[in-house]
Chains A and B, each alone.
Chain A
């Protein structure tokens, strides 16, 4: 398979994720769409690593996975805190920052 096919696929995945971040209202699903965008980036990094024959891109992708895990942990913590404070789980309703 040519490398360009993988890059086109990663571009599509990134764009679908971006559309989801804009369209959806549930913060949980917005986090899922962010995961999609990060995975699109990961696929591009690994494709370029294959193209150049170097493994640095794979290490970058591993670090991106770590960043994604951190983002998930903090984001889900915020959602649980919202639920505990009996706020509606909806990004349109969350218009002020208050502990």
Chain B
């Protein structure tokens, strides 16, 4: 079992480093790349927790599709470095304190919990735990209504995004950008 533990600590370090990178790096493009590292590390953690289908979904949907969307938008709006707040502003000192407070509270909750089985490897699992077939049959039988609600939510979000990001006609007319004429010297040289 030592292999599992070594793998856990390596991947956990990767996940934490990716998360810190998202928060600390100033260029949004590097933030997105750090989040990709974080998501792939989390997929390995899901595999350690016997959630094979979710690990695959994490890599394909999150690290693949969603991150590509982010990178497109960063490239579209031009990711310039973000100006930091002045050091004496209230928020920049309050944020880390708030996060530390939540972390301490959650750790207290984990230490003081009455759940005995937290300190074990978990229940004994049957074959096929977390496989696509099992998850699919759960989605189509026991959780059919949440599944359908999620699909409607996705449809509504897609339509909403199209409505939000479309070019509004009549409100703003972009001035035609003047076409850059070649300077006359080059014409003379060419002649």
Physical interaction between A and B:
yes
Q: Which residues of A contact B (CB under 8 A)?
A: 1-9, 11-20, 22-26, 28-29, 31-33, 35-36, 39, 42-43, 46-47, 49-53, 55-56, 58-59, 61-63, 65-74, 76-81, 83-85, 89, 92
Q: Are B35 and A49 in contact (CB-based, < 8 A)?
A: no
- Note all chain A residues with C-beta closer than 8 A to B142: 56
B4-21 with Cβ < 8 A to chain A: 4-5, 8, 12, 15-16, 19-20
Count of residues in B whose CB is under 8 Å from the partner chain: 89
Chain A residues, Cβ within 8 Å of B165: 76-77, 80-81, 84
Is A9 touching B45 in the complex (CB atoms < 8 A)? Answer: yes
Report if B187 contacts A (CB, 8 A).
no
Given the complex of chains A and B, what is the CA–CA distance between A19 and B102 in angstroms?
Answer: 10
Cβ-closest chain A residue relative to B131: A55
A9-B106 in contact (CB<8A): no
Contact A62 B70 (CB under 8 A): no
Chain B interface residues (CB < 8 Å from chain A):
4-5, 8, 12, 15-16, 19-20, 22-23, 28, 31-32, 35, 38-39, 42, 45-46, 48-51, 53-54, 57-58, 61-62, 65-66, 69-70, 73-74, 76-77, 79, 82-83, 85, 91-92, 94-96, 98-100, 102-103, 106-107, 110, 115, 117-125, 129-130, 134-135, 138-139, 142-143, 146-147, 150, 153-154, 156-158, 160-165, 167-168, 172
| Most central of B19, B49, B61 by chain A CB within 10 Å | B19
The residues of B that contact A29 with a CB separation of less than 8 Å are 22, 28, 31, 82
Q: Which one, A65, A67, A73, A80, contacts B158 given CB within 8 A?
A: A73
CB distance from B68 to the nearest CB of A (A): 11
- How distant is the Cα of A62 from the Cα of B85 in the complex, in angstroms? 36
Q: B32 and A50: CB pair below 8 A?
A: no
